[in-house]
Structure 1
Amino acid sequence: MFDPSLFLNPWSMLAGVLLVSSPIIIHLINRIRFKRVQWAAMEFLLKAQKRMKRKLIFQQLLLLLLRILIILFLGLLVGRYTGFDLTGQESRTTVHLVVLDDSPSMADGWRGEDGTPSDAFEEAKRVLTDQIVKAAAEATVPQTMEVYSLSSLTTPHDVGRLTDKSADNLKSHLSQFHPSSVRVSLAEGLKKVKDEFAGRGADVSKVVHVLSDFRATDWTDDGDAIKQAIADLTAAKVKINMVDVAHPYRKKDDRRSPLAHDNLSVLELRPAKLVVARYDPVEFTLRVKNFGNSEMKNVRFTVKVNGDENKGRSVSIPTIPGNQDRTAKFDLTFDRIGTEEKPLDRFSLVTVSLESGEPGGIVADNLRHAVVEVRERLPIMVVEGRPNLRETKEGDGVYMRPVFNGAFGGYAWVDKTTRDLETADLGKYAFVMLLNVPSLTDAAVKNLEQYTKTGGGVGFFLGPDVNANDYNQTLYRDGGGLFPVPLEGKPSKELPEEELQARRFRLSKKILLRDPARRTHPALAGLYTDERGEPLKDAELFERAFWFISIKRHWPVVPVGKWHDDKSVAELYCLPNESPMSDFEAPVRAVTDRIQRVIGDAEFAKYKEAVDKLRDDLRRVVVSSDPLYRLAGLLDDLLSDQRGEGNPTEALLREFWANPKNADLRTEVARLRDRVKYGDPLYVAKEFGRGRVAVVTTTAGEAWSDWPTEKPGAASYRPFVNEMANYLSGAGADENRLVGAPVEIRLDAARYKPSVRRAFMTHDPFKPAARGNATDPAPIVDLKEQPLRAEGDRLVLGFTEAVNPGAYLFTFTNVKPQTATANEAPEAPEYRGVAVNLDAAHEGDLRRVSRDDVSVLAPGVELQSPDDPEWAKAFRNKQSDLSETIWLFLILFLLLVAEQTLAVRLSHHSTGTEVDAIAPSAAAVIHRSTSRVHAGEHEEPTIAG
């Protein structure tokens, strides 16, 4: 509804009325200044004038009206009158809150038509200052603005009331900001402005501007949260304006997803171990993804250690197809360790950066960091169940000790007892190994579990002294403890020498890989891959030694239990099934009968000969006295799903099983094969918290096995133990921390001081400052001390300042218990290093969301584009006034012309003929006077006298 107070000011209204009335007033004044005087000639003229009175009055009134209209239109021109229709115009003060996306993907760059480089973030700043602010500053009602960056929602920039200088001031302020390294959901920004608007009353109009690149991953992963935030803002009567600032610009009527730039991202850099020995090779895994559609070839990366390329290496990936990732592995050795003067030098920063470059995309995801702690040797705690036999041949660790204490082992063997497990600070050990330990106290179990949950590794070799009942109750705890499997009540029976010899010379493997897919498990991967991480051409090379190993006794595992369905538990190696052949006679006959019915179908005639032969062999062997492994071998041949020898029958059988009609039959045969072939588990691994647990169900020494000593089978013992050690010491190394995520470390309040010293180190090869700092390209910056938060019997580090990629280093103070020996210092520093990196998996994917998807999640909100100038005009909050149209000036011009014409006509400037007609006598007098004047002008002057 029209509000007169918006346009009519009392004083200006009064002045306008006086101006409009001025012609009338002047006219009345002119009328009253004349007095009637008796004059015969004039009476004659008045009589003549009366004949034209009606015409003159009309002309005078018309002239008066023209002059009134001229003044009225001049008033409308000066007052910039907009009319009475103010539909859509806001009369209240308007508050603009801007959500400025500064996530890493906003650094997506391109070059304009003139070759000037730009990116989505710069485009967002330009749209804000040149379009939104300038338009809003022209509004007729007050406009205020606050700018919220996603990475710093708690510290908005208050622009204040918008004026004609606001755009330049805001542009100057924003020039110091660039895309951050932190990814924050757009939903968080929308929730923040909703809360801010909640504190504003209904007497203000509310507008939120969202300037973002609208990536598909953001709207897919956070779609529900964004939808809810949009709904909340709409319910609060907040107008939402969304602008997609990514390039290429979004077409106004195109509902599809717009084009996006190609991009290459380094997704992962993972060391095999977080704590390494000096000069000991450490394997790193590099994973890279090509988010573009085009294949990238010969992609090279530079690896630097503490910013020094000479201590690193170069890594090359031959090809990365579009929308796929590739993995490369490489080894590094480290020579820098901590000293008393520089204790943090124990940490080495490994930085991988893209060397070959890319045509577009973002630069920030082209590098990644990892941090490792380097020590002279890695201490490992070893607890033997029979410490009195520690130095003898019958000892449990006698054959394992040389593996770790060798010149190139990199480990320091530390003997401890079960009592030490109750109070020892396990965090300083690379891992803990328990050999034939009978049982553990509750305190020891608690300490072990806490150590493992926080990233430690615990290994078990069982033996004759193990108390299965105690293990099941305290360590397994129905699947809730760190021990992966429940044990049977007693170990396997002791075999007579004759049977042992028969098994030893049996032409079959004595240890079986439970599933070929397990070769990629972290506990086994190093045994089946080369130094580049590629699978060995001969995958069974390592397993050939298993033909010559004899496992005499072991601890059987309860076959049915929760551990089978526990995703954190993996059965890696097992023993062959030694059950009697007769146990499987009925199942084999049932399966072969079903095979016979299927193969009789004419559709499978080409496979009949091969299948019939194996079916007959199965029936013959199952009733024989042959060892069970022969039956398992025939079932392997029938399924042909193991590594074969390349004969034509295998290909034919694979084709037979590939037919969907045989899927159920194949499943039945595979289950029978597994029951026949695989016996009790021998090697089981479990992920427990951030740590790892590995269990071998036989002994580490010769008590139950000749694995460590019997050649050639013993050749596999050292590699196996080494790989087990790498697995346990690498616990926690696969954690991929992201910038912005809080770092939380929980400690025992009784063992640590309630404060921590912090430091930061990084290296960015893409910044000139980093390249030019030859003395220390990766300096360690002190971040001062931080108190720890107390939670019951725990001290908690809650570090929330990890906002830059690199390594954050923490120094805790370990307080020794009162029972410590006199030689031990009362306090000792303990160090932790954490690498944080960009969320490249999300930010590197530059694909953009479609308009249709935005319409679903944000109904009623139109998605704008920077190259469309029309949408910003709505924020001027005013109508075009009459002074902006040509019609007002044209009407005013016509009025002036008409007024002047009529004024001349009515101003008594009459022609001679008009005077003769109206007043002949007066005309005669005028003519005589004029004649005399003209005659005088032509007389010659004379000289008097």
Structure 2
Amino acid sequence: MSFIFPAIAISGALMMLGPLLIHLINMMRHRRVKWAAMDFLLQSYKKHRNYVWLKQLLLLLARMAAMLLLGLLLAGMGCHSQISRWLEGNVTHHYVLIDDSYSMNDNSGSGQTAFDRALRAVEQIGNRAATLEGRHEITVLRYSRAGGGKSNSPDGDEEDVDKDKKAAPAEALPGTADTNKNLVAQAFRMADVAGEIVDEEFQVFWEDRSQGMTPTELSVGPLGVLQVVRAVIGESGDQQNVVYLVSDFRRQDWDNASEARSVLGEMHESGAQVELISCVEAERPNLAITALKPEERTQAAGVPLFMTIEVKNYGKELARNVQLTVRTSFYNRSDEVDGDPQAIAADPDDLPVVLIPEIKAGEKVTRRVQVYFPAAGRHVVEAFLPPDACPTDDRRFCVIDFPDGVPVLLIDGDVNQENAYFANSIFNPSFLQDDLKDQDARARSGVKPQVETAAFLRDATLESLERFRVIYLLDVPRLDASAVTVLEEYVKRGGGLGVFAGPNMNLSWYTTNFYRDGEGAFPLPLSRDAGLLADPTVDVPDIDVTSHPIFESFNTERNALARISSIERYLQPPAEWVSGEDSSVRVLASLRNGDPLAVERRFGDGRVTAFLTTMSPLWNNMARRYTLPIILFNMQSYLESSAQGKEDRVVGSPLNLQVESARFTKDVDFVAPSVDGSRMVIEKMGIRPEENSPLMNSSLGGRENDGQRSGETDRSGVYEAWLFALDGPPEVRRYALNVDTDEGDLAISDSKQLLEYLDAAKPSMVQWDEFIEDPEKQAGANVSLAVLGILIALLLGEQALAYSASYHPTRGGVR
């Protein structure tokens, strides 16, 4: 038995003795008087004595019971004894669902996170249930255990993607049977506490079980865990069910949670009670790094590269003087030769702090930072902010592959290879600086051109072309059909193709075989070569450019580059040709007569850009001015970016590898970041998908055989995969996993609107501090109404009994 106010309960027990004391005092006041008529009354009294004593005794007991019930009512007695069994049922199952997404790392400033409060709420739920009689069981399930986070990573990782930012339902888990019994069994395997009987030792039990529990770095919604519990409740029989959602109830998860609302409504219809416990009192300001990526420029060792960093203010107030720190981590390839993942260490370098004067509420700011790595390798760039309300999204990582140089293929159709000469002099100035013995003194662009004739493409395979980031066709007359097929497949897979015109081009062949009525890779048909007549009466540049990365240096107020460039001849398309607005073809630059000069087409995953004039100064003066080097470097960066790949892996997504069994052993060592910053090595084995397959698959993260998430990639940071070659040093691949920054939006759902939105479930909602401190909720199910009803009935009975036991003369009788 439990009481809200135990002192009043003791007072009520003492008050019960009041009627007895009053009765005894009245007995002491009686006086014995003998008179003649007493003999007749004694005879009547003896005849009805037992009946009178019984009524007097019942009256005394009723008054004592009334005083006791009044005391219990004021003390707030909790459900106990057989009454509680009748009121609460024989078995009550408490399902506690804890939000452990990284927004629960919100620190109120007191050193206690929202997740800490959630764990404390579980303790109080157990303590509350322990005060109730009947059988009480509790199941605790974290959001992340029922579903993974959102992912849009490459390399086939989309199989684990949840595009609605809700956790994947249990029914969709690999290896899960369609029957509810198997689903229930799997749900209890996911649970941190599964059907534990609640008793007075629960607090000690929970303190031990919750040791080490922390918020994850995932972005997980409530839908997955709700679907799991709904299935379990469907198999629970006649027991009573109470579902607690312990969360921070952010708008991003609940303002449009139609599926979660439907599941909660179904739970209510099945008889379950729903309680919402909010662990956050107020919305706090939060900054997050939402992007860290290299600009679309040539990425090569020894060539500076600009990084773009975006910082967003999720708060409602202006953020001032934000300090942004950028750190580079250089990995020396010589350290990897020994094949010991534990022995390798990066060489970090902190760049000067970037000060952002202000970030307006709800807005983003972008900053550019230049990084430099002297040697080839997969190096790391990291950006971070000072810790704030939610420190998880204050850090972001990026892994960039810096090769020794970017291989580029130049196919020159000119017999003297004049076009390749100018391209080579721009991409590889060192071949003009052979007299410089000091390699560091030579200019370095990062591009490594290889010059070939059109015959090179005749026997080329797709594998031989894929080692080149970009291929240039420079005044090439025509190509064999096999070369066109391979070249178009190369572009479809993300390769870049640049075409420069010239007098040797067979215009009919390009139109028929390379354009093919818009089905081929070439962006437009060609009609003839034409001259651009000079017009001294008009002060208009020959080139009119659009807003495009290739011509970003032309879009200045004075347009100086366009004014110093002159075009004498070019290839002209048919007069009726136009690029459609919805087409994959776009005109990037035009001549002053309106004809196109540069045209782009997106073909598959790659890009094709055609310049309808020469690279050499045969038809223009761009090679003799500053124009061609600027255009060519921008064009190289733009075409190369389509082949670089955009790695944007999210925490929780698996790392899936395919390795060649002819080159590597089946042993794969993954290195994952740990809490203390040490390198945690996880040993895996490569498995052939088929017996004679030349490839082996290995993965880190994802789901285990029983459908549970492994959690191996649930921490942001840099991961490594060590592949051990059969002959030679190991190959080390690095990957960056970052948090889903949408979770950093700490806006809280309005409690009143949320309850109206979830009205079908008839939930109750309480703040964490009220739930912890409210003695009525701690005492359990209060039976004040039942006690009050019994008290009223008892008082009415006491009055009737008192009236029956007292003397009442007949009205109108003789006095």
TM-score by length of 2: 0.70
Q: Which residue of 2 aligns with 1:157?
A: 192
- Correspondent of 2:127 among 116, 121, 134: 134
Q: How many Å apart are 1:161 and its aligned residue? A: 1.4
Cα distance in 1, alignment partners of residues 486 and 64 from structure 2? 96
- Correspondent of 1:701 among 616, 619, 629: 616
Q: Does 1:124 align with 2:118?
A: yes
Q: Which residue of 2 aligns with 1:375?
A: 403
Q: Which residue of 2 aligns with 1:854?
A: 754
Q: Which residue of 2 aligns with 1:819?
A: none
Answer whether contact 1:96 1:146 (CA < 8 A) is retained. yes
Q: How many Å apart are 1:737 and its aligned residue? A: 2.9
Query: What number of residue pairs does the alignment pair up?
Result: 668
Cα distance in 1, alignment partners of residues 508 and 371 from structure 2? 45
The 10-residue stretch of structure 1 (679-688 or 465-474) with the greater mean CA deviation from structure 2: 465-474
Aligned partner letter, 2:326: V
Deviations 1:416-437 (A, max 9, x none): 5214642435554333333344
Q: Structure 1 55/126 Cα, relative in aligned 2: closer, same or farther at 3 Å?
A: same
Q: Structure 1 750/451 Cα, relative in aligned 2: closer, same or farther at 3 Å?
A: farther
Q: Does 1:245 align with 2:279?
A: yes
Answer whether contact 1:301 1:314 (CA < 8 A) is retained. yes
Aligned partner letter, 1:844: G
Q: Does 1:493 align with 2:525?
A: no
Q: Which residue of 2 aligns with 1:865?
A: 767
- Correspondent of 1:323 among 337, 362, 365: 362
Cα distance in 1, alignment partners of residues 607 and 519 from structure 2? 14
- Correspondent of 2:426 among 376, 397, 403: 403
Aligned partner letter, 2:735: V
Equivalences for residues 610-649 of structure 1 within 5 A:
none
Q: Structure 1 460/261 Cα, relative in aligned 2: closer, same or farther at 3 Å?
A: same
Q: Structure 1 554/208 Cα, relative in aligned 2: closer, same or farther at 3 Å?
A: farther
Aligned partner letter, 1:287: E
Q: Which residue of 1 aligns with 2:633?
A: 722
Q: Which residue of 1 aligns with 2:94?
A: 96
Equivalences for residues 931-942 of structure 1 within 5 A:
none
Q: Structure 1 559/829 Cα, relative in aligned 2: closer, same or farther at 3 Å?
A: farther
Equivalences for residues 16-415 of structure 1 within 5 A:
50=43, 52-54=45-47, 56-62=49-55, 65=58, 89-111=87-109, 116-130=110-124, 132-153=125-146, 155-159=190-194, 160-198=196-234, 200-220=235-255, 223-248=257-282, 260-272=283-295, 276-306=299-329, 310=349, 312-337=351-376, 346-354=377-385, 357=386, 360-385=388-413, 389=415, 392=416, 394-406=417-429, 407-415=443-451
Aligned partner letter, 2:649: R
Answer whether contact 1:274 1:733 (CA < 8 A) is retained. no
Q: Structure 1 234/759 Cα, relative in aligned 2: closer, same or farther at 3 Å?
A: same
Q: Does 1:508 align with 2:547?
A: no
Cα distance in 1, alignment partners of residues 418 and 694 from structure 2? 39
Equivalences for residues 749-760 of structure 1 within 5 A:
757=668, 759-760=670-671
Answer whether contact 2:80 2:132 (CA < 8 A) is retained. no
Q: How many Å apart are 1:852 and its aligned residue? A: 5.3
Deviations 1:137-191 (A, max 9, x none): 3333322222222222273212411222223322332231212111122222222
Which SS does the other structure have where 1:397 is aligned? helix
Q: How many Å apart are 1:351 and its aligned residue? A: 0.7
Q: How many Å apart are 1:261 and its aligned residue? A: 0.7
Q: Structure 1 51/704 Cα, relative in aligned 2: closer, same or farther at 3 Å?
A: closer
Q: How many Å apart are 1:263 and its aligned residue? A: 0.9
Deviations 1:817-872 (A, max 9, x none): xxxxxxxx9999876543221111x1221112223552464223333321333999
- Correspondent of 2:735 among 814, 831, 834: 834
Answer whether contact 2:600 2:607 (CA < 8 A) is retained. no
Q: Structure 1 85/573 Cα, relative in aligned 2: closer, same or farther at 3 Å?
A: same
Deviations 1:694-739 (A, max 9, x none): 3323333345444213xxxx21111211112222333346553322
Q: Structure 1 235/404 Cα, relative in aligned 2: closer, same or farther at 3 Å?
A: farther
Aligned partner letter, 1:739: V
Cα distance in 1, alignment partners of residues 297 and 656 from structure 2? 17
Aligned partner letter, 2:94: H
Cα distance in 1, alignment partners of residues 623 and 320 from structure 2? 46
Cα distance in 1, alignment partners of residues 561 and 300 from structure 2? 31
Deviations 1:880-916 (A, max 9, x none): 389989998xx99xx9xx9xxx9xxxxxxxxxxxxxx
Cα distance in 2, alignment partners of residues 119 and 55 from structure 1? 75
Aligned partner letter, 1:213: D
Return 5+ residue gaps in structure 1 as ranges: 1-44, 249-259, 338-345, 529-537, 578-677, 774-778, 815-824, 903-945
Q: Does 1:575 align with 2:568?
A: no
Q: Structure 1 722/189 Cα, relative in aligned 2: closer, same or farther at 3 Å?
A: same
Q: Structure 1 366/753 Cα, relative in aligned 2: closer, same or farther at 3 Å?
A: same
Q: How many Å apart are 1:270 and its aligned residue? A: 0.6
Answer whether contact 2:672 2:713 (CA < 8 A) is retained. no
Aligned partner letter, 2:767: S
Q: How many Å apart are 1:413 and its aligned residue? A: 1.6
Which SS does the other structure have where 1:313 is aligned? coil
Q: Which residue of 2 aligns with 1:429?
A: 468
Answer whether contact 2:303 2:444 (CA < 8 A) is retained. yes
Answer whether contact 1:511 1:574 (CA < 8 A) is retained. yes
Q: How many Å apart are 1:267 and its aligned residue? A: 0.7
Deviations 1:539-591 (A, max 9, x none): 2456434443225122537865675314x6543222222xxxxxxxxxxxxxx
Answer whether contact 1:478 1:562 (CA < 8 A) is retained. no
Which SS does the other structure have where 1:202 is aligned? coil
Q: Which residue of 2 aligns with 1:552?
A: 569
Deviations 1:283-321 (A, max 9, x none): 100111112222222222111112755353322222212
Cα distance in 2, alignment partners of residues 279 and 292 from structure 1? 40
Q: Structure 1 780/209 Cα, relative in aligned 2: closer, same or farther at 3 Å?
A: closer
Structure number with greater Rg is 1
Which SS does the other structure have where 1:240 is aligned? strand
Aligned partner letter, 1:194: R
Q: Which residue of 2 aligns with 1:637?
A: none
More helix by share: 1
Deviations 1:243-277 (A, max 9, x none): 221232xxxxxxxxxxx111111111111269832
Q: Does 1:736 align with 2:661?
A: no
Cα distance in 1, alignment partners of residues 407 and 620 from structure 2? 27
Q: Structure 1 551/813 Cα, relative in aligned 2: closer, same or farther at 3 Å?
A: farther
The 10-residue stretch of structure 1 (323-332 or 792-801) with the greater mean CA deviation from structure 2: 792-801
The 10-residue stretch of structure 1 (47-56 or 139-148) with the greater mean CA deviation from structure 2: 47-56
Return 5+ residue gaps in structure 2 as ranges: 1-37, 148-189, 330-345, 430-442, 703-711, 806-815
Q: How many Å apart are 1:232 and its aligned residue? A: 4.3
Cα distance in 1, alignment partners of residues 271 and 578 from structure 2? 57
Which SS does the other structure have where 1:277 is aligned? coil
Q: Structure 1 561/510 Cα, relative in aligned 2: closer, same or farther at 3 Å?
A: closer
RMSD, aligned CA: 4.8
Q: Which residue of 1 aligns with 2:168?
A: none
Q: How many Å apart are 1:117 and its aligned residue? A: 1.4
Aligned partner letter, 1:143: H
Q: Structure 1 522/832 Cα, relative in aligned 2: closer, same or farther at 3 Å?
A: farther
Q: Taking every aligned residue pair, what percent have the same amino acid on both sides?
A: 22
TM-score by length of 1: 0.61
Aligned partner letter, 1:572: L
Cα distance in 2, alignment partners of residues 762 and 785 from structure 1? 20
Cα distance in 2, alignment partners of residues 267 and 382 from structure 1? 38
Q: How many Å apart are 1:384 and its aligned residue? A: 3.5
Q: Structure 1 137/470 Cα, relative in aligned 2: closer, same or farther at 3 Å?
A: farther
